Amino acid sequence: APVIVWFRNDLRLSDNPALSHAVASGRPVLCLFVHDPQHAREHALGAAAQWWLDGGLRALHADLARMGAVLHVACGDALALVPRMAAQAGAAEVVWNRRYDPLGRETDTAIKATLKHAGVIAHSFAAGVLYEPWTVRTRAGDAFRVFTAWWRAARASGEPLPPLPAPGHVHAAVSPGAWEGCCVGIDALRLVPVSPDWAGGLREAWQPGEAQARDRLHHFVDGGLGGYADARDRPDLPATSRLSPDLRFGHISPRQAWHAAVAAVRGGAAGGMGEQDLEKFLSELGWRDFAVSLLYAQPELVSCNFRTEFDAMPWRNDARDLCAWQQGRTGYPIVDAGMRQLWRTGWMHNRVRMIVASFLTKHLLCDWRMGEAWFRDTLVDADIASNVINWQWVAGCGVDAAPYFRVFNPVLQARRFDPDGTYVRRWVPELAGVPTSCVHAPWTCDPAIRARVAYPSPIVDLQGGRARALAAWKGLSDAP
């Protein structure tokens, strides 16, 4: 009887405990992916992430074929499909790597119960995080709410396990005839846009797949990590790993990223990387896990404020402001550069994500959920936990959040983190010829230069927007 490996957010062969277990069992293996857009409801993949998934599935299909196996792709309700396909295949066992988001957990628990009832073994493994949410707890057994305390406890619990190698060969089972009725080609999932084809920028920027992820990781740890601690906040420099979509879709595991960085430092291969750079990088991987563990402890944070006093926030939610923000036409160059980079490439630098999120929720007084939804649709790395937790963090309503009264000034932030204006000029080409002294605040340019530049005027006055946000927030804190 075969064993089914159900791939989800783990589109890789190496450090894939579910796959390794299936291969080691000696049983013939069936590889399965189920696209389930209906069940995902409001958390269905956004358009950019769907584009990524298409490439990721094609790469996995090719990688498995090289090992002698087939990736079977089905489309529909996983709750019904997985048990049915297991029965059709006469499978002895179904294995997968665990998910931690509310909907994923709910689905997996239900499927496990159905399989068990049918006498099929269901076995799940840890592969998507460094520390599973329930393994790092306070002394009282509660979830941590502060990153530094969580991180200290996580580190004290030991190093993440070393990654597993990819299996040398997969003994593939003959495809069950009955599966023909449920399996479709990757094309049939229609994950990529056709008319209009807006994905040109994504294709230029990225190639999804395990081999490409491995290249990105090695390029980074062998060279980019040197100076990471200081340069990671500079959007004008290629100073970060850009591994977020690979981690999101599991082309690499966080354990692989962790151990590759540690080995590079210990082996002295990391291009001048010091302990400080390494620690900073590891702690960023930690933030990813922390977001997962927060959402695990409080699934309602997907849409509810952690700090409930924010439920009464008088958000303006002005449709025209939101549209200008989405389209990169706010008149603030660093905000517009970030939003255009996002639209074109499906990715935005972390510092700029913080600036645009602060601008939307504070200067424009738009509900963080509107920004979160836009990011969910446009980011190739869109991830429920990281997105929701970071949006709430910036908006001031989240766990361990920056206080609401700390409002980023986009001009000062831009001068500090994009000192020559290189990033802004790249994404806002209208400003290419503007002198550095005023590139982050074009309204201060010499009127003759200003007249030649077709760039919008600011949609909000920085002082006025800040004062309005603080007054709204003060109304909350003064409320009885």
368 is catalytic: yes
Q: How far is the CB of 383 from ligand FAD (least distance, A)?
A: 4
Task: Give me the catalytic one of 368, 374, 393, 473.
Answer: 368
232 in contact with ligand FAD (CB under 6 A) = yes
Task: DSSP for 32-57, please give it.
Answer: EEEE-HHHHGGGS--HHHHHHHHHHH
Separation of alpha carbons 217 and 230, rounded Å: 19
Stretch that binds ligand FAD, among 50-58, 196-204, 330-338, 386-394 (CB under 6 A): 386-394
284 in contact with ligand FAD (CB under 6 A) = yes
Q: How far is the CB of 191 from ligand FAD (least distance, A)?
A: 18
User: Is residue 376 within 8 Å of 382, Cβ to Cβ?
Assistant: yes
In the structure encoding, which two tokens stand for residue 477, read together? 């804190």
Task: Give me the catalytic one of 132, 179, 279, 350.
Answer: 350
Task: Give me the catalytic one of 258, 391, 393, 427.
Answer: 391
Task: DSSP for 158-181, please give it.
Answer: -PPPPPPPPPS---BPPPPGGGGG
The owner of tokens 């603080």 is: 470
Separation of alpha carbons 436 and 424, rounded Å: 10
291 in contact with ligand FAD (CB under 6 A) = yes
Helix residue ranges per DSSP H, 382-446: 384-395, 410-417, 422-427
Stretch that binds ligand FAD, among 130-138, 236-244, 451-459, 463-471 (CB under 6 A): 236-244
341 in contact with ligand FAD (CB under 6 A) = no
Separation of alpha carbons 212 and 394, rounded Å: 31
The distance from CA 196 to its chain's CA centroid, rounded to whole angstroms, is 25
284 is catalytic: yes
Task: Give me the catalytic one of 132, 315, 409, 430.
Answer: 315
Quick one: 182 or 382, whose CB is closer to ligand FAD? 382
**Neighbour tally for 164: CB within 10 Å:** 19
User: Is residue 325 within 8 Å of 335, Cβ to Cβ?
Assistant: yes
Among 8, 234, 251, 353, binds ligand FAD (CB under 6 A): 353
User: Is residue 416 within 8 Å of 334, Cβ to Cβ?
Assistant: no
Per-residue binding letters, 387-416, with ligand FAD (x by CB under 6 A): x--xx--x----------------------
Among 130, 186, 379, 399, binds ligand FAD (CB under 6 A): 379
288 in contact with ligand FAD (CB under 6 A) = yes
In the DSSP assignment, the letter for residue 157 is T
317 is catalytic: no
350 in contact with ligand FAD (CB under 6 A) = yes
- How far CA 262 is from CA of 47, 55, 234, 268, 289, in Å, comes to 35, 29, 23, 10, 18
In the DSSP assignment, the letter for residue 363 is I
User: Is residue 27 within 8 Å of 93, Cβ to Cβ?
Assistant: yes
427 is catalytic: no
Q: How far is the CB of 38 from ligand FAD (least distance, A)?
A: 22
Separation of alpha carbons 362 and 358, rounded Å: 6
Among 112, 234, 248, 255, binds ligand FAD (CB under 6 A): 248
241 in contact with ligand FAD (CB under 6 A) = yes
Count of residues that interact with ligand FAD, criterion CB under 6 A: 27
Which residues form the interface with ligand FAD (CB under 6 A)?
A: 232, 240-244, 247-248, 284-285, 287-288, 291, 350, 353-354, 357, 375, 379, 381-383, 386-387, 390-391, 394
Annotated catalytic residues are: 284, 287, 315, 350, 368, 391
